[in-house]
């Protein structure tokens, strides 16, 4: 479906940029006049996906994180978060609640579970050694006039 509006963002995968990225996406989505809860849900989901790029995809190295956000008709928001990192060998396993490949870093393994609970749709594609794309979709409920 053709986007009504879109934006692209790319930044270095440093922890300090995580809050920048979620705030930037929230500022873009703000044009749909979302509720505070909707904005908060989107920020949390983006934050989880971006954190995964920084801590898992580019483990022990620095890489670039790419975000695109599209607004489709009926206030439907599609956000893609992409990295060119290590990739995910087994996506269903990675998405299981409580699974983490980094227990020594005290990761809870709940990032994907949180994204799925807050978004209408979460899609993950990945290629080992090439990178991962997470697509988050959420409809913004139109406030009554």
| Chain positions contacting Mg ion, by CB under 5 A | 52, 111
Position 108 contacts ligand ADP (CB under 6 A): yes
**Main-chain phi, psi angles of 48, to 5 degrees:** -65, -45
The C-alpha atoms of residue 145 and residue 32 are separated, in whole angstroms, by 13
Position 17 contacts ligand ADP (CB under 6 A): no
132 and 101 Cβ atoms separated by less than 8 Å: no
Tokens representing 59 are: 């483990």
Instruction: Find the shortest distance in angstroms from Cβ 26 to ligand ADP.
Output: 20
Position 53 contacts ligand ADP (CB under 6 A): yes
Nearer of residues 45 and 140 to ligand ADP, judged by Cβ: 45
Position 21 contacts ligand ADP (CB under 6 A): no
Residue from 99, 109, 8, 10 nearest 50 by CA: 10
Nearer of residues 4 and 95 to ligand ADP, judged by Cβ: 95
Position 102 contacts ligand ADP (CB under 6 A): yes
Residue from 133, 97, 137 nearest 120 by CA: 137
Distance of CA 75 to the CA centre of its chain: 18
Binding partner of 119, given Mg ion, ligand ADP, none, CB within 5-8 angstroms per partner class? none
The C-alpha atoms of residue 72 and residue 69 are separated, in whole angstroms, by 10
Position 63 contacts ligand ADP (CB under 6 A): no
Is-catalytic flag, 107?
yes
The residues annotated with a catalytic role in the active site are 48, 52, 107
């Amino acid at each position: 479906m053709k986007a009504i509006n879109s934006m692209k963002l790319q930044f270095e995968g440093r922890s300090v940029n995580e809050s920048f990225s979620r705030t930037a996406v929230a500022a873009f989505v703000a044009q749909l006049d979302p509720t505070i809860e909707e904005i908060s849900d989107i920020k949390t989901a983006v934050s989880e996906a971006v954190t995964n790029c920084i801590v898992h995809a580019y483990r022990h190295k620095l890489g670039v994180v790419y975000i695109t956000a599209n607004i489709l008709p009926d206030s439907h928001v599609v956000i893609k978060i992409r990295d060119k990192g290590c990739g995910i060998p087994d996506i269903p396993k990675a998405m299981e609640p409580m699974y983490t490949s980094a227990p020594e870093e005290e990761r809870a393994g709940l990032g994907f579970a949180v994204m799925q609970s807050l978004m209408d749709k979460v899609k993950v594609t990945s290629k080992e050694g090439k990178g991962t794309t997470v697509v988050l979709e959420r409809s913004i409920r139109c406030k009554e006039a």
